[in-house]
Structure 1
């Protein structure tokens, strides 16, 4: 229950309020979120299945795609089921420990996706700018170490947030005006000074997320320079095509996260329900569209997806 404004309390539970101001549209919003989640689960699971079972796809680019699919599954599964429970059953209650856990995995998934996109940019850079050393530089052992580095960096960056939030004293309310547990949304409920929390978030955004984006941009600047130096038009188009799907995924990830961040920064100007809707962009849109982009634009993946559906159709149409 909401607490007195002057009484420090240890919140055993939080109440996620969903998206205040859109209660009349909960049915249509929940149907949209549910459909996006189903597409996310099916698309990323199928992508993982195809890459892991097809030996010919055990190449660096596809292994990075499988890492991205795993991060997408973790991000969406951490958030969407609870959202749907709020919309359908008004089940907004969540324990403090569960809220911290959800917050941790949301931000870890986000950090991991940023790092994986950087690794994929490096993969494309080596493939186009230094193709003769591609198999030497990007061995399975190196990719495994890169994957471990992604997990370690994400964990070490986000784990301090758990301690920062646990040390806060709460005296305002346990109502979280959101449909998932966001770090700053939780911190703003505290009666303590949260300057350290704000600056830690800013430091992570500048020195990790922004640095990833800058390094990705530099990689693609070098790639474009190398592509336009190729002698034939066909070679240039082929090189650009291999990067097309990755560029789409990068834009979806960073544009949706920027919109979500800007919405929070201007929450005093923008209506609350629009802020909350925009804050859902990066947990819903990229995980849903990433497997579609790779499935449609990557010839090898598309061919194997068609083969999977063809085999399933053939088995179902066989007489018993």
Structure 2
């Protein structure tokens, strides 16, 4: 069970990625049904640590607090020589079976520690070639938001760290807990697509949440057969324009986005209800349990029954 989380702060840590880890794991969300972690922030040399933006953060705890952590997180930070103490902490975490998470350039510290050897990994698309060149023992995937290889998770640039962190929460504690965190952060519980969509493309003009109403309506009507033609009529667009703009703004095709939301709803119902698989499949828009099983196997690499057994509440014994 994921209980203790330690965030490492090497020199040159970037504030956003630091904040992502703090936001996901450092806030007690138990009052709203979310998780609560024993969260600590540590550095090799306690005291002021200069960030990538030039200001300093006062970090009072040393790396000894990481000795029994269930998760060690490494944010993006400046390239350079690593204090061996950080590498020792990461190696020890991997050896005892703890989670290890990096965000953006944090993957380079994991690679330097040797724990990416023989594993798939990713980092920000600007650094993927460098990671592959400097550490040929890892297979670098530049087209994904994060890679989870065993209990070693590497996130791509910046906000993809949220996806990587929520993946760990979802895997350890279930979709319902991860969704509480996502709602509080006002982010999707699980995004489709990959960082390839951001490479070399200009930032699109803000659409003023133009797809928010139709997305909300889709979520409220997951049990219905939602065709592109029907959705386009509701959005007052042609089917072709609707499909193109939806993908541009939501990061996935309407069909892929719907499948992901139906999976998330099914995960929630499997965790929180005793309804049959056929009933859940119908409520989520899969139609039949066999179709739902197909999507679970394809996307989650498990079955609805196995998922329910893993994440459904257990009676205290």
TM superposition score normalised by structure 1: 0.27
Structure with more of its chain in strand, by fraction: 2
Asked which structure has the greater RCO (Cα within 8 Å, sep 6+), the reply is: 1
Structure with more of its chain in helix, by fraction: 1
Whichever of the two has the greater Rg, that structure is 1
TM superposition score normalised by structure 2: 0.27
